[in-house]
Chain A
């Protein structure tokens, strides 16, 4: 289950980026054709986040629809498999979206006092 390793790297990276701040939400972008199960990532996340700056944080997964453009007829079309040809029959396609696996953003808890240094947050 590679989702465990992926979730560990997300938690490590976001903790480091947050520079000691508490993280309330992490938003991932996962393409529909990425070789990753969002459910398995959710399953791993709470366990991996325990004891880190992300403990108790929400994992938000934005699933991205898969699309391609046909180089023969120029049409854009949705994909349900990795190898789907264009409805016109051509398999000369440009893959536009659907294979993402990114940390889009995270939400940092802002303490009442002292305020978090914005330079550090951006780091």
Chain B
């Protein structure tokens, strides 16, 4: 493992089509900066001292004025156009680890079998555990391992879609890496983000992680069956989510007991109908 940033060969991105077991390296060789870095940075790169001299000394300033995320956003638009051309609904499921994203997907796949064609892109840093669960539930699935990455990006999803080959008019659920911060910044080309927040995480998460809840069209408040056992103020949670995002739709659900899931299925059906 690289001592500089913690990356390793095992940390590169992989895209694996689980039914076919066809694993491929999504990024090719791990692009890296010169390794052999035993020393402790005592050498003086000039960057620390740059303030000591004027910048126009032997330098030419080149304007760039470009968004850092421009490349990702362009790839996301390409995914969006690809999906629209096939009348496919793509949802980007975001939420913390343990919020119940995979459990919700498993139940949704089982209960909608025969009604909606669903397939899944699973994003995790490591393991294909979630992908295996989705496959067992009966949906085609591609597992993406991001290695050191804390989010999916548009390029990974493009490769995931190429491996998944979703049917025309179907729905693709993209389960992002469990994380309430980073995935909010990366457009994948999805039709909408769906945030999943579970009761044990606490009702104030929408204001603690506002970027994520502002970017979401729908908030599923999961594990609602735990309400009698926890000090969770559901009304306050909804109010805080609407403070951050006045447009957000909210559905309380339990992926374990099934409570509230009919409303989620109705939301999904109308979203599918809008995309075809």
Query: Which A residues are within 8 Å of any B CB, using their own CB?
Result: 1-2, 4-6, 9-10, 13-14, 17-18, 24-25, 28, 35-36, 44, 46-52, 55-59, 81-83, 91, 101-110, 116, 121-122
Q: Given A2-B150, A35-B184, check contact A104 B33 (CB 8 Å).
A: no
Q: Given A9-B68, A107-B60, check contact A24 B50 (CB 8 Å).
A: yes
Inter-chain contacts of A14 with B (CB < 8 A): 64
The listed residue (B61, B66, B149, B243) touching A103 by CB distance below 8 A is B66
Q: What 1/0 mask marks residues of chain B from 24 to 57 whose CB sits below 8 Å from any chain A CB?
A: 0000000011100100010001110010000100
Inter-chain contacts of A49 with B (CB < 8 A): 33
The listed residue (A36, A58, A101, A116) touching B47 by CB distance below 8 A is A58
Interface size class of B (residues with CB under 8 A): 35 or more
Query: Which B residues are within 8 Å of any A CB, using their own CB?
Result: 4-5, 32-34, 37, 41, 45-47, 50, 55, 58-72, 148-151, 153, 181-182, 184-186, 207, 210-211, 214, 243-246
Inter-chain contacts of B181 with A (CB < 8 A): 2, 35
Q: Given A46-B45, A102-B68, check contact A81 B62 (CB 8 Å).
A: no
Inter-chain contacts of B47 with A (CB < 8 A): 46, 56-59
The listed residue (B37, B59, B68, B148) touching A6 by CB distance below 8 A is B68
B65 and A83 within 8 A (CB) = no
A8 to chain B, nearest CB (A): 8
B183 to chain A, nearest CB (A): 8
B76 to chain A, nearest CB (A): 13
Q: How far is the CA of A86 from the CA of B243 in the complex (A)?
A: 13
Q: How far is the CA of A30 from the CA of B245 in the complex (A)?
A: 22
The listed residue (A56, A101, A122) touching B68 by CB distance below 8 A is A101
The listed residue (A82, A101, A122) touching B62 by CB distance below 8 A is A122
The listed residue (A28, A50, A106) touching B61 by CB distance below 8 A is A106
Inter-chain contacts of B34 with A (CB < 8 A): 50-51
| 21 interchain pairs, CB-CB under 8 A | A2-B151, A4-B5, A9-B68, A13-B68, A13-B71, A25-B50, A36-B185, A47-B4, A48-B33, A51-B34, A57-B47, A58-B46, A81-B210, A82-B211, A103-B64, A103-B65, A106-B62, A107-B61, A108-B62, A110-B60, A121-B60
Inter-chain contacts of A4 with B (CB < 8 A): 5, 148
